[in-house]
Amino acid sequence: MKAQFLWVPAVAIVAVATPAYAKVYLSVEQAQQLMFPGATFTQQPLTLTGDQVHAIQKASNTEVLNPQLQLWKVSTGGWFIVDQVVGKHEFIPLAVGLDDSGAVKSIEILEYREAFGDGVRNPQWLAQFYGKRNGATLTLTKDIQNISGATLSSKHITDGVRRLLATYAIAIAAH
């Protein structure tokens, strides 16, 4: 049948489409030692209550995707959190280190599974968050510079950090 030729390009594209592989930059342990060299880490089981989720969402204007926190107390002071934010196709796992006062000490992107936009790993871009604490407005294009061509990732990382700072103030500080 002559119509068969119409499927040839489609089949060709599917044939060359390779499976996607996540690019893993750091393991959790590597991120911990990078942020807090020489420290030891004690995992703190913490599940947010409904009221806490509501309060965090209200304070950060960002949805809490998972009430179960991956949280570690750092022997030298501070907290280490592993979280994830929505990416273009998949979640973006990241680690956030907070100092004793709840200010952002460091951020590391653990994996990046998108074809473009890994500029969010740029240390200079991430440094915009350092020293920020709960209550900082942290809005993309105003307080945090946008990465052109990676707007969605930039926006969701910004929202995610704002949410984690609210999480610290509402649930972690008193833990």
> Which residue, 99 or 114, is less far from other proteins as judged by CB?
114
Q: What are phi and psi of 80, to 5 degrees?
A: -125, 125
Beta carbon of residue 140, minimum distance to other proteins (angstroms, whole number)? 6
Nearest CA to 112 out of 53, 166, 152 is that of 152
- Smallest distance from the beta carbon of 113 to other proteins, in angstroms? 7
Q: What is the DSSP string of 82-120?
A: EEEEE-SSSEEEEEEEE-TTS-EEEEEE-EE-SSS-GGG
Q: Could you tell me the smallest distance in angstroms from the CB atom of residue 106 to other proteins?
A: 24
Contacting residues toward other proteins, per CB under 8 A: 2-10, 12-14, 16-21, 62-63, 65, 86, 88-91, 113-118, 140-141, 146, 148-152, 155-156, 159
Query: Smaller CB distance to other proteins: residue 13 or 174?
Result: 13
The residue (of 50 and 89) whose beta carbon lies closer to other proteins is 89
